[in-house]
Chain A
Amino acid sequence: MPREGKKDVLLGTLDLLILRVVSSGPIHGYAIARRIEQISEDVLTVQQGSLYPALHRLEKKAFITSDWQTGETSKPVKMYTLTVDGNRQLEEEKKHWQDVSNAVNLVLRQA
């Protein structure tokens, strides 16, 4: 349940947001959720029930890869990295999002 004032990530945009966050460098699942929340200034929230299946789905599509690394803490964490295919996919999805949001803005402005 999102906290008050927070919105669930828009349907169909979770993959785009994950790819974008992962494109900044290797990152684990929890940090991805946190980063989306931080960057969106706590407007968007990512449910774990959606995040991990999405990560596994993207990994299966070979857009991201994963491996266990020892991060800041001594405990190993599973880090995700963007692949070349993932980068290409990110560019496509970004363009697609731009087109859709421009179109939606246009309708909002002129309707």
Chain B
Amino acid sequence: METFHRIKNWIAALFGHLRKNSDLEDEIMSHIEMRTELNIEAGMAPDLARKEAMRGFGNAEALKEDCRDSWGTRVVMDLIRDIGYSLRNMRATPGSSILVVLIMAFGIGISMTMFTFVKGMLWSNMGFPDEDRLIDVKWGINLKADRTGPHPIRVDDYLEFEKYHRTLEYLVGFSSYTPGFRLAENSDYPEKIRGSAVASNFFNLLGVSALYGRTFGPEDVVPGGERLIVLSYEFWQSKFGGELDALNATVYIGAAPCRVIGVMPPEFSTFPLNSNYWRGVDIDTEWGVGQPRQRRAMLSILGLKKEGVSDEQVEADLEAIAERLAEEYPESNEYLRDVQAQNHGKGQLHGEERNLLYALLFCGVLVLLVACANVSNLMLVRAARRSFELATRNALGASRAHIMYQVILDSFLLTAIGGIVGLFVASYGSDYIWSIYAPLDADLPFWWDVEIDVATICVAIGAMIIAALGGSFVPALRGARRNSFALLRDDSRTSSSLYMGKLSKVLVGLQITFALSLTIVATVMVLVQYAAVSQEKIYDRDKIALGFLWLSGPLYKEKESYLSYQRNLRERMIEKGAENVCFLAAGSKSLGEVWWWNRFEKAGESYGDPTAMPEASVLDVSPEYFDVFGFKRAFAGRLFSHADTEGSETVVIVNRAFVETHFPHRTSPIGEQIRVQPIEGRESGWARIVGIVENYVDKPLPEESWSDYAVIYRPFAQNLVPWVTAAAKFGEDARPWTTTLHREMGKLAPDNAFNQVRSVRDEMAFEESFNRLIVKLYAFFGVITFLVASIGLYAVVSFSAGQRVREFGVRMALGAHSKDIIYSVAKTGVVQALAGLVLGVLVGQMLAQHLSKSMNLVGLPPVWITSAIAVILILTTTAISMLAPSVKAARLDPVKALRS
């Protein structure tokens, strides 16, 4: 009861403090009046009676303090009073207050935007109970710096894993695809709707039941049996209007009828990756068991680990099986021994992308550090301006702790205001970045959540506390020094101010170090990524349309049908107006240039370890490829012809970068034999180099990057694969023709999965969206860093010049010229800048080197270029930010300055 009353009183006291104060005043007044009346009754004159009553009452102020103490809200009230004092102090120094708020808003805003972005992509949860045990299983092949990431697993290897694993509860194969989807058999134009063909035990993985109807299990999916699908909630809503009639409806996927048996709940979303529906697959007939090994399907594999099993244990378990397979099938599995198991939710980004995101986060932290150094410096200036007041308080008995508390509170308040503004900036910033990025990524995991949440706010509060403390601790310590006598004796140009000046210089140096490091990293990133996205190609990217197709069924299995599909499509497109059409064994990421980094052997050379073999990009192309993609002629030897088929001699064409890299001392490698290593079952024998073509990049390549552009071209007909890209060249803008290409592809292969058709330019924009976004972000970092750094430098130079007004007055009165004053003000800044420059270049280059190594960046600009750019930018910023205060100081009227 007592506790309840105490709390009630405390709250009442907190919120009704003013009322209580006025109550107390009234009560005291009423006491004095009663006493006065008694005195008057006793015969005193009214004035005297009141005076006597007041004297008798004693020290009312002390009494009030004692009463307030008894309310138990003194700490809070003191805080409120101190906050009020700090607010008044802010109002008295609006310039530096606004600057601190602005700088903190930038610092917190940028770092929290990055944190939100990175957190959303790296640390979002799917929301399933067992998601920690859910893993992706892939071959971990370390190709050219792991550029292609881990590989999917072939169906027969999956079946072996599925049969013999011991560390998993389930191992489930699936394949995301976009076949033609029709609601009725007679609709002639199938829609492109992405779904997943999944093994029959797929729904056992997470144990989630259907919202309506049911899911399928191993007993439902049998060879030759009815094809069953389960719809995602969103797809059911959009396609079937949320009607329960959808259950048991028949839809057509490819040519085959499928019965809808269930609808998954909304939280199952599009698991595992953008699936609108899930179709149970009969592995024996549909996934190519019984076909030659090189034609078997590739699967994505999900596993559910047993409780307490680590990823490493799963890898060891499956690698034991892989070892056996490698010995049993050396021609296809010799190099497939390394299994990679990675959490499904956390493993959507490969190493380079993760590093890129960490680098962004790190740059966000650097921006925050620049902001902290700035704030610290401004707080020093504020404390220096208040040194007289602080010394007076000290002399009047204020404790050192209380003075420090005042300075720190000042910083906390400003940081909090800046931080709140910063959180709004972060909220809009992350939304904006996401709104650019999300629509461009077709494989965006559904659980990535780029929103400001409680975790972000907690991190932001932590960052604010660190920034506020970091920004004010040293100024507070200096401000609370017990040298009130010296301070009070002197004026603003005191020994204390000089000391603050030294500290200020160190901070400016630090700030320049951080800003320069960040600028160098940003410059490297922007130059590398810009070079990657703005490469000039030998072909006109506006005039080529690309269409991607996954051929299955008879069209793929029967070689003649496959080749005649290509012939027919080519003829029809040329009839419609295309100049030429070619085919590539390439996914959407190739753009007709780079497909797969493979190791290869040169005849006559022995390699002890397969990893010692050289690497090159391998691209399988039809003979028309070279015309479509702008290779005028063979630089030496010949191009491919339709005579290069499976039955003829195995041949390859290489490009100039390949020759420069791998045959640097030969006049011509024509006639040399090379053998590309089999990867994912695509065996290849020894092949003769019959031609050399130009590089696909239309610029001279620096020697150190030759190896990045080395390509081996193989005849498509000698290396048939189900995935094929049709590229049609037109004499004009290809965009209007994409519909025609799409329609013709659909007509010739209505039952096959085909994807979007785009011009090369649009496709590049799509594929490079991530890179472009990164370029923009780094460029943005650069701009913000300059902004924050220049605001900070301006503020410090301006305030320190402001403190020296009287000195300037004296100097000018003694005959100093304006230029001497400008030199005097600017000198301080230049020394500060130079101090940070050397350290900044060193730290920045170390960071850039480390980042580029961990992200396998190629085509790094020379160190001196990035250093020079960054140094020039920073020096320019420094000069501009110091110009205004210097000129202002030089224009001072000596008389006014001396009077100030």
Residues of chain A whose beta carbon lies under 8 Å from any beta carbon of chain B: 28-30, 47-49, 52-53, 56-57, 59-62, 68, 75-78, 85
Cβ contact within 8 Å between A56 and B71: yes
Q: With the chains together, A89 CA to B27 CA distance in Å?
A: 25
B6 touches A60 (CB 8 A): yes
Of B56-64, B168-176, B644-652, the one touching chain A: B56-64
A60: chain B residues within 8 A (beta carbon)? 5-6, 9, 70-72
B31 on interface, CB distance cutoff 8 Å: yes
Question: Which residue of chain B has the shortest Cβ distance to A61 in the bound complex?
Answer: B2
Contact B31 A29 (CB under 8 A): yes
How many residues does chain B have at the interface if contact means C-beta atoms less than 8 Å apart? 27
Q: A60-B9, A85-B1 are in contact. Are A53 and B66 (CB under 8 A)?
A: yes
Provide the residues of chain B in CB contact with A28, threshold 8 Å: 30
- The DSSP consensus for interface residues of chain B is helix
Residues of B with C-beta under 8 A to A68: 23, 26
B2 touches A47 (CB 8 A): no
23 pairs, CB–CB < 8 Å, chain A vs chain B: A29-B31, A30-B34, A47-B58, A48-B31, A48-B57, A49-B59, A52-B24, A52-B27, A52-B63, A52-B66, A52-B67, A53-B66, A53-B67, A53-B69, A56-B71, A57-B70, A60-B71, A60-B72, A62-B9, A68-B26, A76-B30, A78-B27, A85-B2
Instruction: Tell me whether B70 and A56 are in contact (CB under 8 A).
Output: yes
Asked if B33 CB lies within 8 Å of chain A CBs, one says yes
Residue of A nearest to B29 (CB): A75
CA distance A3 to B621 in the complex (A): 115
Cβ-defined contact, B63 with A53, below 8 A: yes
Complexed CA–CA distance, A59 and B13 (Å): 12
Looking across the interface, which residue of chain B has its beta carbon closest to that of A58?
B70
Instruction: Name the CB-closest residue of B to A65.
Output: B5
Bound Cα distance A109, B59 (Å): 41
A61 adjacent to B5 (CB under 8 Å): yes
A-side binding surface: helix, strand, loop or mixed? Answer: helix
Q: A28-B30, A52-B28, A78-B30 are in contact. Are A62 and B67 (CB under 8 A)?
A: no
> CB of B354 within 8 A of chain A?
no
- State A56–B26 Cα separation when bound (angstroms): 14
Q: Which residues of B contact A76 (CB under 8 A)?
A: 26, 30
- The answer for the CA separation of A30 and B26 in the assembled complex, in Å, is 13
> Any chain A CB within 8 A of the CB of B35?
yes
Give 10 new A-B contacts, CB below 8 A, not counting A48-B31, A62-B2: A29-B27, A30-B34, A49-B66, A52-B28, A53-B63, A56-B67, A60-B6, A60-B9, A61-B6, A85-B1
For window 1-26 of chain B, which residues contact chain A by CB distance below 8 Å? 1-2, 5-6, 9, 23-24, 26
Distance, CA A75 to CA B27, complexed state (A): 11
Cβ of A75 and Cβ of B33 under 8 Å apart? yes
A45 to chain B, nearest CB (A): 11
Given the interface pairs A56-B67, A75-B30, the reply to whether A30 lies near B35 with Cβ below 8 Å is: yes
In the complex the two chains form, is A49's CB within 8 Å of B30's CB? no
- Known contacts A49-B66, A56-B70; is-contact A62 B1 (Cβ 8 Å): yes
> Assuming the A-B contacts A56-B71, A60-B71, are A78 and B23 also in contact, with contact meaning beta carbons closer than 8 angstroms in the complex?
yes
Chain A residues near B56 (CB, 8 Å)?
Answer: 48
Contact of B62 among A49, A57, A75 (CB under 8 A): A49
Please, which residues of chain B bring their CB within 8 A of the CB of A47? Answer: 58
When C-beta atoms are compared, the residue in chain A nearest to B10 turns out to be A60
Query: Which B residue's beta carbon lies closest to that of A78?
Result: B27
Instruction: Check B70–A53 contact: CB distance below 8 A.
Output: yes
**Top-4 shortest CB links A-B:** A62-B5, A53-B66, A56-B70, A57-B70
How many angstroms between the C-alpha atoms of A30 and B27 in the bound complex?
Answer: 9
Q: Is the Cβ of A48 less than 8 Å from the Cβ of B58? A: yes
B26 and A78 contacting across the interface, CB-CB below 8 Å: yes
Contact indicator B58/A49 (Cβ below 8 Å)? yes
A77 near B66 with CB under 8 A, answer no
Nearest A residue to B1 via CB reads A85
Complex alpha-carbon distance, A76 and B27, angstroms: 9
Rounded to whole angstroms, the CA-CA distance of A103 and B30 in the bound complex is 41
Q: Which of B24, B56, B70, B72 lies at the interface centre, i.e. has the most chain A CB atoms within 10 A of its CB?
A: B70
Q: Which residues of A contact B2 (CB under 8 A)?
A: 61-62, 85
Report A-chain residues with C-beta under 8 Å of the C-beta of B31.
Answer: 29-30, 48
> Distance in Å from the Cβ of A2 to the closest Cβ of chain B?
11
Q: How far is the CA of A30 from the CA of B66 in the complex (A)?
A: 18
- Residues 41-83 of B, flagged 1 when their CB comes within 8 A of A and 0 if not, give 0000000000000001111001100110111100000000000
Instruction: Give, as a whole number of angstroms, the nearest-CB distance from A75 to chain B.
Output: 7
Residues from chain B with Cβ under 8 Å of A30 in the complex = 30-31, 34-35
A78 to chain B, nearest CB (A): 5
Give Cα A68–Cα B22 distance, bound, in whole angstroms.
13
Taken together as a complex, chains A and B put the C-alpha atoms of A28 and B31 apart, in Å, by: 9
- Closest Cβ–Cβ distance, residue A64 to chain B (whole Å): 11
Which residue of the partner chain A has the closest CB to B3? A62
A79 CB to nearest B CB, Å? 11
Q: Is B26 touching A48 in the complex (CB atoms < 8 A)?
A: no
Tell me the minimal C-beta distance from A36 to chain B in angstroms: 14
Q: How far is the CB of A76 from chain B (nearest CB, A)?
A: 8
Bound-complex Cα distance A85 to B1 (A): 9
Q: Which residues of A contact B6 (CB under 8 A)?
A: 60-62
User: Nearest chain-A residue to B64 (Cβ)?
Assistant: A52
Complex Cα gap A62–B72 (Å): 14
**Distance between Cα atoms of A52 and B60 in the complex (Å):** 10
A53 CB contacts on chain B under 8 angstroms: 63, 66-67, 69-70
User: Quick check: A77 and B62 within 8 Å, CB to CB?
Assistant: no
In the bound complex, CA of A68 to CA of B1 (Å): 24
For A29, A30, A57, A78, the residue with the greatest tally of chain B CB atoms inside 10 Å of its CB is A30
The answer, among A48, A59, A61, A85, for a CB contact under 8 Å with B63, is A48
Q: How far is the CB of A55 from chain B (nearest CB, A)?
A: 8
Q: Which residues of B contact A29 (CB under 8 A)?
A: 27, 31
A53 to B27: give the CA distance in the assembly, Å: 12
Cα A78 to Cα B20 in complex, Å, equals 12
CB distance from A93 to the nearest CB of B (A): 15
- A75 neighbours in B (Cβ, 8 Å): 30, 33
- Closest Cβ of chain B to A65, distance in Å, is 10
List chain A residues, Cβ under 8 A from B34.
Answer: 30, 77
For chain B residues 770-812, which have a beta carbon within 8 Å of chain A? none
The reply to whether A49 and B63 contact each other, CB–CB distance below 8 Å, is: yes
B residues 374-399 with Cβ under 8 Å of A? none
